[in-house]
Structure 1
Amino acid sequence: MYTLLLIVLPALAALLTLGLGGRPGHARQIALAGALAELIVAVVVWTQFDPAQGFQFGFAFDWIASAGISFSAGIDGISMLLIVLTTFLVPLIVLSTFGHSYSKEASFYALILFMESALVGVFVATDAFLFYLFFEAALIPVYFLAAIWGGENRIRITFKFFLYTLFGSLFMLVALVYLYFQTPGQHSSALTALYALNLSPAAQGWVFWAFFLAFAIKMPVFPFHTWQPDTYTESPTPATMLLAGIMLKMGVYGLIRLLLPIAPVGLAEWGWVAIVLSVTGIVYGSIIAIQQRDMKRLIAYSSFAHVGLMAAGVFSNTLNGLQGALIQMLAHGINVVGLFFIVEIIFSRTKTRYLDHLGGITQRTPHLTVYFMILLLGSVALPLTSGFVGEFLLLAGVFEHNPWLGAVAGLTIILGAVYMLRMFQKAMFGPRSQAAETFRDLSLSERAVLVPLVIMVFWIGLYPATFLKLTEPAVSQLLRIVNG
C-alpha cells in the first residue's frame, strides 16, 4: 500500500497544517515535516523497487463499479522517477520560504501539500479517469497560490492560466469518454484496456490531437504558451517552483503515458506536426529569453524552450528520445527550482529582478556565486552536469527521427548558453550597483536548499545510470506497445 500512502500522506499533512498551523511559524514547520515524511516513504519505495518487474505496489478499489471505473494506481520506472523528483523538490520548496512570511500561512502551506498529493496521484494512476481527476486537482492549489499571494496583476494572469488549462483538459476528457465507450463488453477506463484498443486511423488521428492539445497547453508547447511567462512571473516564487519544477512535467508524462500507446497510428501520421511545433518553441523561447530584462521572466522563457526539447524527444518515438525526456525532466526540475530560488534571494536583498539595475553582486557573495554558476552550467548542459545527459539523448533521438530537425533543435545549446551567461554576467559581474551595496551572502536555510540541488546536479551528470536504469525497462515496454 506504499502507493496509496504516497498519495494520502501529503493530503493528511495539509489537513494537519490547516488544523495546527495557526501560530506564526507552526504551519511551515508542520508542512516541512510532512514533506520530509513523504520523501522518506518515497526513498523506501525506491530502495524496494525492481525496474524489471513493471507496475508494483499497486492497489485497486471500486470507484464507480457499475461503470468499470476504479481507484487504481501503481508504480513503474517512469512513475518512480517522477515520484523521486516530486518528493525531493517539495521539501526544498517549503524550506525556501523560511526567510519570508506569508499572510494566511496555514492555507499557503496546505495548498503546497495538497498539490504534492495531486501530482503524485497523476504519476501513479493506472485508471484514465483517476489520472484526469488528479490532473485537474493539481490545477486548483496552484491557482489559489497565484491568485492570493501573487503580484499586482495576479487576478487577470491566473484567470488566463486557469482558462487555458481548463480548456485543454476538456479535449482530454472528451477523448477519454470516447475511448471508454470503445472498450468491449463492460466498459473499462483502465489504462491497459485503453492500450489494447484497435482504433481506426481516423479515430486515432483525432484522439492524438485531443491529447496533444491538452498536454501541449499544460507543458506548454508553442504556440500554446502565452499563459506561461506571465503566470511564472506573477506567481509567488514557491508556486513558480511548483509550476516549472514539477507541474509542467505532468504534460510530458501525459504524452508518454496516454498519447503514444493509445494513438500510435495518429502519432505516425501527425507526429511530424507536433515535433515541428516543439522544435519551433525551442528556438522561439530561446530568442525571447535573450531579450528579457527581468530574471524571473528570462528563466520562464528558458523553461519553455527546455520543455520544447523534451516534447520533441517524446514525439521522436525513439528509446534515446524518451529516455532523454525522462532524465531531462528530472534535471530540469532540479535546475529550474534552484535558479528561481536564486532569483528570489537576489530580489529579497535588492528589491529588483531587472538586470540593468544589478551588477557586482559577486564581490560580496562568493557562496551565492558558486551555487548560481553550478546550477546555471547544469541548465546549459555542460558535460558532467545534470543537463548534459538529457540534452544529449534528446538531440540524439530527434536527430534519429529527422537529422534536419535535430540540427535545429541543437541550437538550444548555443542559445541557452547565450541567455544564461548574459544573465549571470549582468547580475553578478561588472561594477557594483547601488542595489548590491549591502548585499549579504547566503544564510544557513538558503544553503540548506541549494546544497541538495547542487549535489543532484553532479549526481545526474556523473552517474546518470542510477536514473536511466530505473526507467529503461518501462520505456522499452512502452515502445513495444507503440510500435506493435
Structure 2
Amino acid sequence: MLTILLILIPIATGLLTLSLGGRSAKQLALIGALAELATALVAWTQFDPAAGAQFGFDYAWIASAGISFAASIDGISMLLVLLTTFLTPLIILSAFGHSYKNPSAFFSLILFMEAALVGVFTATDAFLFYLFFEAALIPVYFLAAVWGGENRLKVTFKFFVYTIFGSLFMLVALVYLYYQTPGQHTSAITAFYDLQLTPYAQGWVFWAFFVAFAIKMPLFPFHTWQPDTYTESPTPATMLLAGIMLKMGIYGLIRLLLPITPLALMQWGTLAIVLSVIGIVYGSIIAIQQRDMKRLIAYSSFAHVGLMAAGAFSITLNGLQGALIQMLAHGINVVGLFFIVDIIFSRTNTRYLDHLGGITQTSPRLSVYFMMLLLGSVALPLTSGFVGEFLLLAGVFEYNNWLGAVAGLTIILAAVYLLRMFQKAMFGKTNSSTEHFKDLTFNERAVLIPLTILVFWIGIYPGTFLKMTEPAVNQLLRFIHN
C-alpha cells in the first residue's frame, strides 16, 4: 500500500498544482512533496532490511501477456526512494526565490518527475520499469526546453534524441528476455534473473542495457549531452538531473544488467570499468579548465558517476555498497553545490570565476555552507563522500589494482578543481559584482541546513544506510555469482 501511495501522491498533487496552482503553485507543490517525504519516512520506519521486498502491490496490467503493474521496496529501492523524496521538497523550496512563467506547469512537472523516479526505483515488472524510465524523461525535457537558457531548444533536442535512442536498445532487450521466459511468458524482473541464456545472447543483451544506462548516467563516451543540458537547464531541473535522474542509470545497472548477464560481465566487464575510469580522469581534467561554475560542477558530476559505475561493475560487496552510498552522497552534495551557484548567480548575474571574488567578506554563512558541501564532494573523512569513495575504490582495487590506482586519481583531481573554484569565487578582493553581495536568506538556509546535516550524518553514521542495503546487495550478488 505504501509503495502505490508513493507513486500516486506526487501525481495527485501535481494535477492539483496544475489545475489550481496560480500564485500558490509553489506552496501546493511543496506541501505535496512534504507529504511524499512523510510517507517515505513512514515506510523507512517500518522497513525490515532482512525481510526482502516489502510494501508491494501486483495488479494485472496486460493479464493475457503476463505483464503486471507491480512494485515493491527492498533495501536498494528504499535508499533511492529516500533520496528522491528528501531532495524534491528542497528543490521546490530552492525555486521560491525565482519567478517562473506559468508556475503551475513548472512545479507540477517537478512532482510528475518525482512520481516517475519513485516508479523506476520500485518497479518489479520490467515493462513497468521501462514505462517509468521513459516517463521521467518527459517532465525534465519540458523543464529544460521551456524555462532553460538561450540555447535550450538545441540542447534539449540533443538530450531527447540521445536518451530515446538508448532506451530503444533497452526495450529490444526486454522484449527478447520476455520471450525467453518459459510457459506463460512473464515480465517479472526476478523471472529474468532465472533465465539460462547462452554467452552470445547475454553479450548482446549486456550491450543493449549498457548503452541505455550509460547514456542516462552518463558514461564516457556517451556523455556529450550532459554538460550543455546541465548548464542550459533552469537550476531546479539541473538539480533533478544530477541529484536523482542520473541515479536511474546506475540503478538499472545494478537491478537489471548485472544479475541478468553474469556471463557477459566476465567478457565485457573489464572494458566497462575501463570506460568508467576514463570518464573519471577525462571529466576531472575538463572540470579543472572550466570558468563557468555550473559547467564545472556538471563535469564533476560526470567524473563522480564514472567511479560509481566502476564500483558497480566490480561486482564486489564493497563496490556495490559503495555505489549505493555514493549515489546518496552525490545527490546531496551536487544539489547543494548547484543551489549555491544559483545563489551566487542571482546576486551577481554571473557564474564565471574570473568575474567573482571576495564573497566571504560579506557572506560568512554562505561561505561556511559552501565549504561543508564542497568538502563532502572531495571526500574528506567524516563527510558523505568519503564513505562511498573508500568503498568504491576498495571494490575496484579488488577487481584490478591498476584500474583502482587510476580511479583513485579522482580524490586528487576533485580537490584541485573544487577547491580552486572556492578560492576563485569566495576569496580575494571584491569587485563591482560582489562588493554588495548579500548573505543567505531564511529560505536559502532552509534548503542548505538539511543538506549539510546529511553530509555529516552519512559520513559519521554510514551504517544507517549500509545496513539497510546490505541484505539486498548480498542477494543480488548470489544471483550474479550463481
Task: Return the TM-score normalized by structure 1.
Answer: 0.99
Q: Is residue 8 of structure 1 aligned with residue 11 of structure 2?
A: no
> 1:185 is paired with a residue of what secondary structure?
coil
Deviation at 1:200, TM superposition (A): 0.3
Mapping 1:26-425, distance limit 5 Å: 26-425=24-423
Distance 2:83 2:344 in 1: 25
Amino acid at match of 2:323: A
TM-superposed deviation, 1:425: 0.2
Cα deviation digits, residues 130-159 of structure 1 (max 9, x gap):
000000000000000000000000000000
Q: CA deviation at 1:477?
A: 0.3
- What is the letter of the counterpart of residue 371 of structure 2? M
Q: Which moved more, 1:425-434 or 1:384-393?
A: 425-434
Deviations along 1:157-200, one digit per CA (max 9) or x if unpaired, are 00000000000000000000000000000100001111110000
**1:256 Cα deviation after fit:** 0.2
Quote the offset at 1:438 in angstroms: 1.2
Counterpart-to-counterpart distance in 2, 1:255 and 1:309:
13
| Cα distance in 2, alignment partners of residues 218 and 99 from structure 1 | 30
User: What is the distance in 2 between the residues matched to 1:434 and 1:89?
Assistant: 34
| C-alpha separation in 2, matches of 1:192 and 1:430 | 57
Mapped partners of 1:200, 1:223: distance in 2? 28
Cross-structure match for 1:476 = 474
In structure 2, C-alpha distance between the alignment counterparts of 1:230 and 1:19, rounded to whole Å: 32
In structure 2, distance between residues paired with 1:386 and 1:341: 18
| AA aligned opposite 2:16 | L
Q: Secondary structure at the match of 2:421?
A: helix
Pairwise CA distance, 1:268: 1.1
Structure 1 position 437, deviation (Å): 1.2
**Partner of 1:18 in structure 2?**
18
For 1:272 and 1:137, the matched residues in 2 are separated by 32
Match of 2:431 in 1: 433
3-state SS of paired residue (2:61): strand
In 2, the alpha carbon distance for the partners of 1:268 and 1:296 equals 38
Kindly provide the amino acid, as one letter, of the partner of residue 68 in structure 1: G
SS at match of 2:59: strand
Whole-Å separation in 2 of the counterparts to 1:231 and 1:46: 33
Distance in 2 between residues matched to 1:434 and 1:322, nearest whole Å: 48
Stretches (4+) displaced over 3 A: none
In structure 2, distance between residues paired with 1:195 and 1:403: 30
In 2, Cα distance between the equivalents of 1:180 and 1:20? 42
Residue in structure 2 matched with residue 453 of structure 1 by the alignment: 451
Q: Distance in 2 between matches of 1:437 and 1:186?
A: 71
The one-letter code sitting in structure 2 at the alignment partner of 1:181 is: Y
SS in 1 for 2:382: coil
3-state DSSP of counterpart to 1:436 = coil
**Unmatched segments (≥5 aa) in structure 1:** none
Q: Report the 3-state secondary structure (helix = DSSP H, G, I; strand = E; otherwise coil) of the residue aligned with 2:57.
A: strand
Q: Secondary structure at 2:97's aligned position in 1?
A: coil
What is the SS of the residue equivalent to 2:71?
strand
Identity of aligned residues (%): 79
- Tell me by how many angstroms 1:20 deviates: 1.1
Q: Match of 1:467, as an amino acid?
A: F
TM-score with structure 2 setting the length: 1.00
Partners in 2 of 1:352 and 1:433 — Cα distance?
12
